[in-house]
Structures are given as C-alpha cells and as structure tokens.
Structure 1
Amino acid sequence: MQVLLNILQAVQILSAIGMVALILMQHGKGADAGAAFGGGGGGSASLFGASGSANFLSRSTAVLAALFLATTLGLAYFGNLRSAPSSGSVLENTSVLPAVESPAAQQIPAGSDAAVAPAADVPSSPPATGEAQIPAK
C-alpha cells in the first residue's frame, strides 16, 4: 500500500512540474496581436506549423491536468483507507498532566498568616475631620 502511495505521489509531483513548464511555454492571448504586426512567433510556427504549437501545448497541458486530477483522487482515496483511531475525538487520546504548583505557593505554609499582606501604612477608615490624609512613605 505504501509503495502505491509513493508512486502516486511521484506521478503527481512530476505532472505538476510538467504542467507548470507547459503553461509557462504557452503564449497568452495578447501574443496573437503582436504576431500580426510581425513580432515573434516564427520559431514555433516552423516547428509545429502555423497553429500547431498552440494545439500541442494546450493538449499536453490538458493531459497532464487530467493525470494530476487522477493522482489527486487516488491519493485522497488511499489516504482515507488508513486505520483511524477508535474514536473521532483527538482529545480523548491525550494524557492528563498533574497540576504543577508555583514555587511561591510551596514556600508558604498552609496555616500561617504570611499569605495575607500586612496593611501597615493604610488606615482602615477615612479620617473623621473630612480632610484627606496621604500616608508618608
């Protein structure tokens, strides 16, 4: 099974590279207007005929595109045949890690009053005179 997947993947990569090369070799629609005024296109016309290069390149691109589609479908089909986990959830297969306490929480004893911050400079109630007092530092 793995050999078939490797062959399909190699054929898909080669067909993709071939398609890119063939698409880059083709002339765009604007190239026909330039050829009418005497510009370029003479080399390909002598090799494939007047319109032979467009037909050859476009048909070759279509064949490679069909091959690319077939290999993509084959890879998708054979890729889904692999055995999946027993359940559909990824979270069920994870392990639960124990909770880690911070070093500060480990240093303070549980029954001590050190956990409460002392409020030495802060008065517990506002002054009775109505004037605001700022504690000195």
Structure 2
Amino acid sequence: MYEFLMIAFLVVAIILVGSIMIQQGKGADMGASFGAGASNTVFGSSGSGNFLSRTTAVLAVVFFVLSLALGNLSTSTGEATDDFSDLAVPEQEEQLPPAESKEDESSDVPPVN
C-alpha cells in the first residue's frame, strides 16, 4: 500500500510541475486578446486557462491528500496509543551529597587555597 501511494505521489508531483510550467503568465493575456496566434492554440483563446487552472487545482488537492496519507502511514507504529508515556521525563536517581575527600598527606602537590 505504501509503495503504491509513493509511486502515485511521485507521478502526481511530476504532472503537477508540468502543468504549472505549461501555463502562461498574466502578461501573455494581452497579446492573446488581440488575436495574436489564438487560433493556433490547442484549447482556444480562453479555454486553456480554465482547463489548466482546474487541472492544476485538482492535482494540487490530490498531492496534498497523498502527502497527508503518506505522512500518516510513515509515522504509524501499528498500535494506537493515547498516552504520551514515550515523551515522559525519565526519573532521576537520588542525588547524594558529594563525598568528603581526605587529602593524602604523602602527596607532592600542595593544597590549593
């Protein structure tokens, strides 16, 4: 299931990038409105914007749904847990006061004052 969703996710991502790259910018509308090559386009003078806009919107929704599904599948452990026991702070051992050290009188190092 995960592999199928991952392949679908990659295919949708590639098609989404392609559909975004095909679209014309806002500045191209002025030349198309005066008939500059509008009859040679595949979708007509205004049809390509609506078709590509709708296709891009549908692909974007599918992309986000697949992203959420893949994220959910990759983090699930198989069993549902409602408690946050794995996030609890571990118990600390009881702190003992530092042991008093007795200085060895035979040491060559003088004590620091």
Which TM-score applies when normalising by structure 1?
A: 0.53
Cα distance in 2 for partners of 1:43, 1:17 equals 27
Structure 2, unaligned runs of 5 or more:
79-84, 88-113
Equivalent runs, 1:42-81 vs 2, <5 Å: 42-44=39-41, 47-81=42-76
How far the C-alpha of 1:82 sits from its partner, in A, is: 2.8
Report the aligned-residue RMSD.
Answer: 3.0
Identity of aligned residues (%): 43
CA 1:73–1:60: 2 relative to 1, 3 Å: same
What is residue 11 of structure 2 aligned with on the other side?
14
2:31 is aligned with 1:34: yes
Greater length-normalized contact order (CA 8 Å, ≥ 6 residues apart): 2
Q: Which amino acid aligns with 1:82?
A: T
How far the C-alpha of 1:38 sits from its partner, in A, is: 4.3
2:14 is aligned with 1:23: no
How many residues are treated as equivalent by the alignment? 91
**3-state SS of the aligned residue for 2:59?**
helix
Runs of 4+ in 1 over 6 A off after TM superposition: none
Cα distance in 2 for partners of 1:78, 1:24 equals 31
**3-state SS of the aligned residue for 2:77?**
coil
Whether the aligned pair in 1 keeps the contact of 2:5 and 2:66 (CA below 8 Å) is: yes
How far the C-alpha of 1:59 sits from its partner, in A, is: 0.8
Which TM-score applies when normalising by structure 2?
A: 0.63
Structure 1, unaligned runs of 5 or more:
89-137
Tell me which structure has the larger Cα radius of gyration.
1
Whether the aligned pair in 1 keeps the contact of 2:32 and 2:45 (CA below 8 Å) is: no
How far the C-alpha of 1:79 sits from its partner, in A, is: 1.1
